[in-house]
Structure 1
Amino acid sequence: MLRFLHILLTGLLGVLWDGVTAFGGVRLVDGESKCSGRVEVLLHNQWGTVCDHGWDPREANVVCLELGCGLAEFTPHGAVYGEGSGPIWLRHVQCLGHESSLTRCAVALHNNAYCTHENDAVVKCSGTLLMPTLTLLSPHTVFSPGEAVRFSCSILQGHLSDFHLYKHGVSTPLVTQRADQTQKKAELTLSDIETFHQGSYSCQYRIKSGFPSQLLSSPPSNSINITVVELLTPQHWYNTSTEAPAGSVIKGHNFNITCSTPQQYPGGSFQLRLIRSNGTVRQSLPALTPSVTFTFSNAQSSNEGYYYCLYRVQLGGRTFVSRESQPLPIAIRDPDPVLSPMGISWLVSGLTFVVAVVILIIVAKVLCNKEKKPTELERETRTCKFLFPSEAFKLLTEMFVYPE
């Protein structure tokens, strides 16, 4: 609280100071590059130094950003880049960190602290904005459609404007989170994800820099890959002998059920579930191809019921299961009695009997015509009476046993 009041009071003095004088700019001198060295400001066309009393990363960051040199890496005290010469223009600078220029920060015009060029403020800047760090807050990297993915984007220091989450290959951010002046990280959430969200992600932040103020974008962070698993409902069908009616299998015959899905993942498997009156039976086969076939031989009543197919896979420590297919009802029917061995036996016997009767009738007519040699008149008027099978059989027997 005391610091805030002090900044407020010195800020008012700074406004008065800024009103009667005009600073011409800020520079870093005698460092390893243009982004490190002793801090100097221009006033009345003369360069002077800044006293490091009260100098901390907030003031250093304002200088680095004003010069387009990223953020301050360290802010040592003492003239480590050599002592300056000329006036000490600023003796006690108090920045909040969001100012566009060091000369826009509050200053104490009349500070009794003793300050010489041995106390010249120095700074070493990163040269560019520091790379942020992207972390995954969600406990896994594999997701189903409709879930949310939570990331965190953070930096070590700096007064940020906003954070952005980017998907590689997409130029516009998918998520943007505003940041306050003290914020060093932000949570970025992808809600209700779909399959097109699968891919690699990184984050960036933007920060106000320079005078006049502008927004600079940081380099992209590290990358994190996420996978979105979408399992389609499998299709299934069955095959059996052609004489079986639709939806059924003849008892004792073979049949098979095929499960298929176009969406495949490594290590997936198909599961076939049979729901019957006395319980549920499950079978599983690895999905080495888009379709697998479950084979059943010698069908029995225990194979009757409703069959369902589903696809399952384990990825990233999670198990994903598709929706079940529509039910496939299969009934087990007894063989047709006409085609049974007993039916065939009866059919053969019946046909044999019919053939025998026909033969006996023909033979009986022949025997009737051969009884006597009739006269011409008898041949014209005589008719042969019909013989029943038993009579024909008797005559046939007599013909063979007692031939004429």
Structure 2
Amino acid sequence: MKTDLYLDMDHLLLLLLLSSGLQAEGSLNQTDFVRLVDGNSLCSGRLEVKSDQSNQSWSSVCEDDFDQQDAEVVCRELGCGAPSVLQGALYGEGEAPMWTKEFQCGGNESALLDCRSSGSDRNTCSPGRAVGLTCSEPVRLVGGDSRCAGTLELKHEGEWRPVGESVDEWTLEEADFACRELDCGSAVSVRRQESSDRSVWSISYDCVQSGSLRECAASDNSSHWLNLTCSDFVRLVDGNSLCSGRLEVKSDQSNQRWSSVCEDDFDQQDAEVVCRELGCGAPSVLQGALYGEGEAPMWTKEFQCGGDESALLDCRSSGSDRNTCSPGRAVGLTCSEPESFRLMGGDSRCAGTLELKHEGEWRPVFDDYPFWILEEADIACRELYCGSAVSMRREESSHRSVWSISYDCVQYGSLRGCAASSYSSTILLSIICSGLLLQPKISASSSMDGVSEAKQQGLLVFRGSDFTVSCSIQPQYPGGSFELRFTSSTSAHTYTQPAVNHSAHFLFPAAEPAHQGSYSCVYHVHVFSHDFSSESRQLSLIVVDPRSDQIINNPSKIIITVVVLILLVSTASYFYFKQKDVTVPPTVGSVDLQHVQSW
């Protein structure tokens, strides 16, 4: 606990000089008294204070002598937002000596030098206890339904202004960076808000990816402001896209602390709610430690979602706390990408002009400079579950309003996360993916009953009888051809016919032992200057010799012999009862040849 304190003489003298307007040599402004070093931005690092005004030396501060109120003052003095992390040795120990007194700030002071400090000196500080401080960026979202939604504003050079865009335009990836700066989870949407022309802070998106928002700000005029929506209570971290990562929830609204979730306390219904809250598609993978364990503490209660809630915070949670969670059980979640893009105007869903649904509107995609290459088109094909990219070309069109997607962003994120504002362009992207063809169907019939065996796994025919193998495919493209492939233990053959009305029929006049084996249909078609093919399932054929009641080269001949005997007995019974003019019993009668022929 802090004791009654007094200002040391060095600080008191400096305050008197400042208050009287005197400028003595060696005196400093209050902002020159603190700094954060070795951090990731201007608002993070190891805290150091000017310990001696005469020799300008800096000292680290011991965590035991520094609390949340002191941190608020430091962040305010540095022009940053509220403190978000206060942890010893977060940014290393450094080599500076240790500050020997305890700060006693109320939290409302404008500078750390305004705070009282203790009169007793600290002689030692345990290793790993030098103050590491992370302040939030001086940004905010205003005008929304919560602190995590609204128009993005930035305080720069002492002035709050809305954030506009430079020539480079923001995507969900950059919006996600701002949401993290605000400690608001993940980005759900980014929109351009029409407003009156006024001064804004323009922030280039490529600068945001490598620095803090404040470091990227420049004065500009714009009538388009950025409006962001972030998930307040939930986020996915360390994933491959905005829709994947280790699940963390905000465990304490007062100190903005995030916690991992134990897999034992999370099920498919809970995952559906999280994916919906983040603006993603249905959950596709739910696996412990898929994206690492992290260092966040563990959420202590079990979620009990019905699956229809719009946010995880709407779900009930158990009253009992979980004390432990086994290693490797932190929830890793992958949500599918939402249905926000498509290929249109082609002969199938896997070919055509790439279109994107962004800000609620479908528009064609223009590839921003530098141009897309086949590798980026391949990402689009995979996200559409259309296999790999076969070709990509640029087409002239009458379209003017398009969405721009930078190819270098696609390499590191999803298409949805890389969409930016519209350009005026007549150059659109047309992509052809390999997953074009449906699977052809194979069926067979014999001359004994002429019934197709399309739903059977095989066909049994008598030696000497004819049989037909048919190949067909649902209409997609005109023309094409079918290749019938035959394989056995001793040989292999192929037969080819053109596709007529999307089918072909291969007639075999007399079944022989050499016809016994496996058959499959392969459909070939040439479209978009490329060759595509798709193969059916396999169908097995066995040849029976009726004269010897044996199946050629088949170990199951005893079973077939029994079947044939049943057939003969049933036929004899039929004629016996018919000759006596007696109704045939339902249990005795003709046997369906179809069931004898197939299995």
What TM-score do you get using the length of structure 2 for normalisation? Answer: 0.24
Q: TM-score, normalised by structure 1?
A: 0.34
Larger radius of gyration: 1
Comparing both chains, which one has the higher relative contact order based on Cα–Cα distances under 8 Å and sequence gaps of 6 or more?
1
